[in-house]
Structures are given as structure tokens and as C-alpha cells.
Structure 1
Amino acid sequence: MKRNALFVLSAIAMASCTPKPAATVAEVPVSPMIGTWKLVSAITITKGDTVKDYPVPNQEMLKVLNDTHFAFMRHDLSKGKGKDATYTAGGGTYDIKGDKYTEHLAYLNAREWEGRDFDFTVQFKHDTLVQKGIEKIDSLNINHEIIETYVKQK
């Protein structure tokens, strides 16, 4: 009888023990930049002239961002066949503080653009990202404003 009572008390004592809660890690807010974005509109403004660069029939472009790097890919949807075959890709690192976003372009199939920084402002509205800024490269005679609109992919 004493053995049974000891067994019951041991079982109750074991059941009442709870493990220590695991140390909680402070949650770091995730930047709204992180994710995969599909380009839906692109405008270039050069010396007051506005050109709608995108959408282009039979093409698509994605931009992918993690917490430190970005990459973009644009290609035709006909798998490189035909007169409108195209492929553009690039990437690098970026910094963001508030709405100020700077791309440090390390890779691009137009190699003369590599190693340059481009400053933009970004705005978020729900699943939409608007990126605006100046692309200026004196040696290539490039000086224009771009406005790109992306929709976040799920």
C-alpha cells in the first residue's frame, strides 16, 4: 500500500512539473522590401520627355530582395526565339533607411553599369512598391529618372 501511495505521489509530482519556457528571441521586423516583386510599369523621363518602357508585349521582369541583396531578371516569353528575344539580369547589395533605397550594382549583363550606386525613394501601398530615382552615368551619357511599379508575388 505504501508503494502504491508513493507511486501515485511520484506520478502527480512528475505531471505537475512543467519545462522551463524557452528563451524568447526578440522579433526583428521584416522589411517590406523582402520578397519577390513583378514589374507592372516602368517610365523613364529624360530631359522632360516621358517614355513608358514597360509593360512590353511578350516580356516579364522580376526583382527579388532578401535582407541584404537584390537581383532582377527580365526576359521574353518566347524562350529566346524570334526577333524580340531579350534577356537582362543584374544584382548586388542594397541599403534602405526609411524611404531612401540605394542599390549597389555589382552584376549586370551591360557590364559598364557595374560598380555603381543608384539612389531611389520607395513607397509601399499594400502589395505595391513604387521605386523612383535618377540613373546617372556621365561616361555613358545616361541621365534620366525612372519610376518603376512592382506588385509583390505570393
Structure 2
Amino acid sequence: MKLIFSLLICIAAITSCQQKEIKTEQKPDQPLIGTWHLISSKSIEKGDTTVTTPPKDQEMVKIFNGTDFAFFTHDKKMGKVTKPVFDSGSGTYTLVGNNYAEHLAYCNYRDWENRDFKFTVQFKNDTLIQSGIEKIDSLNINHEIIETYVKLR
């Protein structure tokens, strides 16, 4: 009887050690998922428009999965310039229709972390246009951005 009881405990222990499948919220038909290359950007503050597209010696990509985003900007000279550039950030997002919201959890500009931003997105074939207000009172930031990306294949 002890042998049967011990055998049942061993079987229960072994079967409880199976790795459980982790489910992520992937939306494969969502047009946002993928990698996007920034081709133009503008900042509008108090009626003044500034073109902020990365200079020709820099590039930026933004990457989306079903729940998270990340962005990276760097100089194309691999840091071998007078002022090397590497900016990055990531967090979670929601997309409902054309209403897109980001929660920026990580950023090399640390005062921007743990902030929420709301935008509108438009999709035109392989082009994404993201626009909205970035406002952080404590940093005296209050401007509209318009960013245009092309999807990388």
C-alpha cells in the first residue's frame, strides 16, 4: 500500500512540473505590429513648426508587438562622431481604432519614464502617421508631434 501511495505522489509531482504555455496577446492582423523606420517628424509648439526629422547621419526605428513598443535612434557612424547619438525607450501600448496610447516605462531621458501619451494613428499602405500631444508639465514640455514611418519588411 505504501508503494502505491508513493508511486501516486511521484506521478503527481512529475506531472505538476510540466512547463505551462505562456499566452501573449498577439494580434497578427493588426497593422501596427512590426518594425517601422522614421522618415519625417515635426514638432509644433505655440504655432511654430519645427522639422525634427533625424539628420541624414542618424536613423530611428520603432518596433511593435501585440502589447509593447520600443524605439531606437542612433548615429550611422557607430558612435565615431563628435557627439555620438543613441536614444531608446519602451513600454506598453493600446490601439483602439485610430486611438493609440503609450505608457513609456523605460527611456534614456529618465524624466520621461512612467508617462502616458495619447495619439492618433493613420495607416496608408506601408506608411504610419502618428500625431498627438506630448505634455509633461514638470519639464515644461507641451507640443504636438507628427511622425511618419514606413514599415520595414
What TM-score does the superposition give when structure 2 sets the normalisation length?
A: 0.81
| Matching of residues 7-18 of structure 1 within 5 Å | none
Instruction: State the shift of 1:72 in Å.
Output: 0.3
- Measured in 1, the distance between the counterparts of 2:133 and 2:35 equals 23
Identity of aligned pairs, percent? 59
Q: Structure 1: where are the runs of 5+ without partners? A: 1-27
Contact 2:68 2:92 in 1 (8 A): yes
Alignment pair present for 1:71 and 2:70: yes
SS in 1 for 2:134: strand
Partner residue, 2:57: 58
Tell me the matched-pair count.
127
Partner residue, 1:33: 32
| Matching of residues 1-154 of structure 1 within 5 Å | 30-154=29-153
- Measured in 1, the distance between the counterparts of 2:74 and 2:63 equals 15
SS in 2 for 1:63: strand
The one-letter amino acid of 1:55's match is P
Contact 1:76 1:84 in 2 (8 A): no
Contact 2:54 2:60 in 1 (8 A): no
Deviations 1:3-37 (A, max 9, x none): xxxxxxxxxxxxxxxxxxxxxxxxx6611100000
- Measured in 1, the distance between the counterparts of 2:40 and 2:28 equals 28
Instruction: State the shift of 1:107 in Å.
Output: 0.4
What is the CA RMSD across the aligned residues, in angstroms? 1.0
Deviations 1:99-125 (A, max 9, x none): 000000000000000000000000000
Q: Structure 2: where are the runs of 5+ without partners? A: 1-26
Contact 1:42 1:148 in 2 (8 A): yes
The one-letter amino acid of 1:78's match is K
Instruction: State the shift of 1:81 in Å.
Output: 1.4
Deviations 1:90-147 (A, max 9, x none): 0100001000000000000000000000000000000000000000000000000000
Q: 1:29 to 1:58 in 2, by over 3 A?
A: closer
Runs ≥4 in structure 1, deviation > 2 angstroms? none
